[in-house]
Amino acid sequence: MKITKIIELTDKNFKKEVFSSKKYVLVDFWADWCGPCKILSPILEDIANEYFERMIVGKINIDMNKKIPIKYSIKGIPTLLLFNKNQIVGTKIGVVSKMELKNFLDKKLLH
């Protein structure tokens, strides 16, 4: 079984895990019933492992955590928000290929 480097985010731990991080944090807003979220999940696993030194990947279930998705006006899932120092520095909505996500991250992580 593969060990995941993805952290589970909640309304309660979001501020601590995301805003206190010294690394970039990629947050996946998802739900159990979301087909596209299931397609994206293994891609995020790979990204979490490949980018472990440079950033953290976290997932927040929008059905179990209502405050954070409302705060960030999440209208559709999957939605990926990339945070750096309490700021959103990038957004991806919908399923993206691993290559597309890597290109997006590589551009953002250079700054």
Residues designated catalytic: 34, 37
Count CB-CB contacts under 10 A for residue 29.
24
Residue 56 to residue 98: CA distance in whole angstroms? 16
Give the helix/strand (H/E) hosting 103: helix 98-109
Phi and psi at 89, nearest 5°, equal -110, 0
Q: How many residues does the chain have?
A: 111
